[in-house]
A and B are shown apart, each in its own frame.
Chain A
Amino acid sequence: MTRKLKYSQLIERFLAGEMNEDELRWFSKELQFNAELSTELKLDKDLDNILLDEDVLEFRRKLLSIYNEKKEVNAPKIVKLQPRRWQLAAAAAIAVLMITGGALLFTQQRSYTPEKLFSMYYDSDKSIELTRSGNANIVEAVLKFQQRDFQGASLLFAEILDKDSSNMAVWFYNGISYIETDRIDDAATAFKYIIDDKNNLYVEHAEWYLGLCYLKNAQIDFAVDHFRKIAADQDNYHKTEALNILDKLGRK
């Protein structure tokens, strides 16, 4: 099973000195008892140390490339043999299978319904590494979210946003909670809010989930436009997945 990181956003804010006093107090306290948080923080610091030692990294890069070159040179050479009759027959059979398989794949391409694509690509766990803020309401909401009580989480997230609509993390988690409770239009609104804000860490993920919302609502043209934008952005985190969806929709 793939292990996931849970506290990246929190650690990022801690290391960047972006936490307020309450959050810092909460973080220090949590560190004493929360082994996972402590491990993730340690990993983060180790990585920073490694990145600071750029000379060693460069040296390592050279060593690895020498090893790889050596391996390639030592790799067994392919000797070309004249094909025998049975080999020709086998090759022909494989070719037939590939052509049949290709045709099948081609016809299957058209059998992806938006709903099916949505379930293939939607993964609430994949998107989120939840962090708990020092704010008591957020802690409770996050707990509900982690326990997959999305209805309850969503109510609390909405309360928090009523008081402070600038918390993009809460908008994001709320969007996911809406998807989980089948309130797709509300989810889309939450993701659009994040995208319009521009100034936050969640924009790319929000764009991705907004595209999935369009799929879920069977708004294919919106979805295609949206995934095309994502796919056209070289640096976008979801570029490959967007391309895959377009391909499956036959709209690449």
Chain B
Amino acid sequence: MILFLVTKNNGSEEDAEDIFQDSLIIVFRKIKANELDLTCSFRTYIYSISRNLWLQKLSKRKQFQREFSDIEVFITMSDYALSEKNLDDQEKFRLYQQHFLTLGEDCQKVLLLFMKKTSLKEIAVEMGYKTEKYAKTRKYLCKEELKKRIINDPKCQKFLSDD
């Protein structure tokens, strides 16, 4: 349904995948925050979010649609999750998260443990490192690697300006 919506309206399969993922993340966040208030079927809800996201994306790309082909019933939505600012963040975080998920398992684990404020001693034990200092070094190098991948990804460039 989303694939059809996007490809019918100037988008590619890859766009459709991104839009669908972003829509699911929006719903996931809403469920987590206990803010999901369904007034229609879940199918219509997801379709409406994706439709909204795709329309905004088209408008950003200056690909205005004179006629937008809808294939499903949709509801009008106006909440922060669909605001322009949030959509930019959504895209940025999707790309950053995808880069994170391409790191080695070891790096992913160290960074997550560190963010959970796990002590260096515990990290060293859990990861089998010889010293706490090495745990700190490892965290530094892993984050460095992640940042390098991001700054060298052309898709991320628009998020890497100082504003």
**Residues on A facing B (Cβ under 8 Å):** 2-5, 8, 12, 35, 38-40, 42-44, 46-52, 54-57, 59-61, 63-64, 67, 129, 198-201, 203-204, 235, 237
For B1-29 the 0/1 string (1 means CB < 8 A from A) is 00000000000000001000100110011
- Does B37 count as interface, using CB distance less than 8 angstroms? no
Report the Cα distance A44→B161, complex, angstroms.
Answer: 13
What B residues does A49 contact at CB under 8 A? 93
Contacts beyond the supplied A56-B97, A60-B101: 19 A-B pairs with Cβ under 8 Å: A2-B148, A2-B152, A4-B148, A39-B160, A43-B147, A50-B93, A50-B96, A50-B100, A51-B112, A56-B25, A57-B112, A60-B97, A63-B21, A129-B144, A198-B133, A199-B133, A201-B136, A235-B129, A237-B141
B160 near A8: Cβ-Cβ < 8 Å: no
Cβ–Cβ < 8 Å partners of B159 in chain A:
46
**Are A39 and B100 in contact, CB atoms less than 8 angstroms apart?**
no
Pair B115/A5 contact, Cβ less than 8 Å: no
Contact among A44, A60, A200, A235 with B21 in the assembled complex (CB-CB below 8 Å): A60
Chain A interface main SS type: helix
Chain A residues, Cβ within 8 Å of B150: 43, 47
The answer to whether residues A8 and B147 also contact, given A60-B101, A204-B141, A235-B106 and a CB cut-off of 8 A, is yes
List B contacts of A63 (CB < 8 A): 21, 24
Contacts of A4 in B (CB 8 A): 148
Shortest CB-to-CB span from A70 to chain B, Å, is: 10
**Which chain B residues have a beta carbon within 8 Å of chain A's beta carbons?**
17, 21, 24-25, 28-29, 32, 92-94, 96-98, 100-101, 106, 111-112, 114-116, 129, 131, 133-134, 136-138, 140-141, 143-144, 146-148, 150-152, 159-162
Is the Cβ of B28 less than 8 Å from the Cβ of A200?
no
Q: Which of A55, A200, A237 contacts B32 (CB 8 A)?
A: A55
Q: What's the dominant secondary structure at chain B's contact region?
A: helix
**Those 3 A-B pairs whose CB atoms lie nearest each other, nearest first:** A51-B115, A38-B162, A35-B162
User: A39 and B147: CB pair below 8 A?
Assistant: no
Q: In the complex, what's the smallest C-beta–C-beta distance from A195 to chain B, in angstroms?
A: 13
* Cα(A46)–Cα(B160), bound, Å: 11
Q: Which of B97, B112, B133, B148 contacts A200 (CB 8 A)?
A: B133
Query: Roughly how many angstroms separate A51 CA and B118 CA in the complex, as a whole number?
Result: 13
Within 8 Å CB of A200, what residues of B? 133
Which interface residue of A3, A40, A49, A54 has the most chain B CB atoms within 10 A?
Answer: A3
Q: Is the CB of A52 within 8 A of B115?
A: yes
Can you offer 7 A-B residue contacts whose CB atoms are under 8 A? A8-B147, A12-B140, A38-B162, A43-B150, A54-B112, A204-B137, A237-B141
